[in-house]
Structure 1
Amino acid sequence: MAAIAVLGATGRTGRMVVDRALARGHRVTAIVRPATTAASALGSTVVTADPCAAGSLTGLLGGYDAVISALGATGRGPATVYSAATAEIIAAMRPGGRLLVISSAALDVPADAGPGARVLAAVLRRVMRHTYSDMARMEHLLAQSDLRWTSVRPTGLTDAQADGSPRVSVGAKGKVGPRTSRADLADYLLDAIDDPHTYRSVVAVSS
């Protein structure tokens, strides 16, 4: 049993991470923003904090076996939530702490990707350029940190049931599938906590 802190715990993916972690018997702390309903984090300890506010996480993240960030931007406008929150998370964690964050498979196109996947990735990076730029800033901050971090890059997220056999590319060099169920993503995040092959690495994942 691990002690896990989940940021973004009331979003669709964050709720799934909390639920799957609790089902495994982990001790979960859901860190939610002020004025956010915590009903979906039922069964976990709930802590209120704005992860993008300077110093808001100080003293909150030092005692966990792993921290998982399911934070994400909404809309297509300028975005800073990924980089701003990650900077605060890094500052609040102890050196060598275990951090997993959610990014996007569209940040890179693997060499064996087909033409359709290349076109889709290019369109996504153009339409969601602010979001992807902020994800890239987040991953740069991770690479400069002293944490045991993993940036998990799912393909298009769905609410389908877990199929239990996600496709994984450590280093995000190989092709994965076009869709990722949130349940499979949550299970992979939890499975990867103790996987040293994923430390200080990006990982592409799909259902």
Structure 2
Amino acid sequence: MLGVRNGIGVGASLLPTPTVPRVHGQEVHAAGGWIVPQLWHAGLERKGEDVPDPAVAAVGPADLTKPQIAEIVDAFARSAADARRLGFDGLAPHGGHGYLIDQFLRAATNPRTDAYGGDPARRTRFAAEVVAACRAAVGPGFPIFLRISHSTVTDFDARLAPPPPRNCSSFWSRWYTPASTSWTAPPGGSGCPASPTPVQA
């Protein structure tokens, strides 16, 4: 049994509501299960007065300086280390539903033109840095799941990327293996998306 616990914030002022839980899990282990927290930064989804520290403004990709991005990446890493220290069995940075990692991934919410915005590869840099920092904080062998989603909290029809052409069944069967750091390529001339450059975490 694996329980993914929703909503463990990476900083008290960054949570979307004060009702987000901190840590639970002894009962899961006592029942023989595993538990994995989702670590999230709400970004621009942090709205209204019903939030911790209401004076702290919501921020998105366009609002952040590179030092601020580095601080947030470090906050994810500290939370990852805390998750391992507290006895969790893995961790899941929340990169879906329109929260901050997701905001960096989407062209509609990431107007940056530097190393963190523009083409899809650069828009994934923030997510890759979060995962790499978490890996460095917890060491090898500790499961890390990056949660992503096509839809957002407010747009269930949103898509991170267009679907590949119909003849790309091999595209969907590509697998990345950390041991080989390689992808199996789609057939030449198929019109399928090019293989992404893997990021070692």
- For Structure 1 versus Structure 2, the TM-score category normalised by the shorter chain is 0.3 to 0.5
TM-score by length of 2: 0.40
Structure with higher RCO (Cα < 8 A, 6+ apart): 1
Larger Cα Rg: Structure 1 or Structure 2? 2
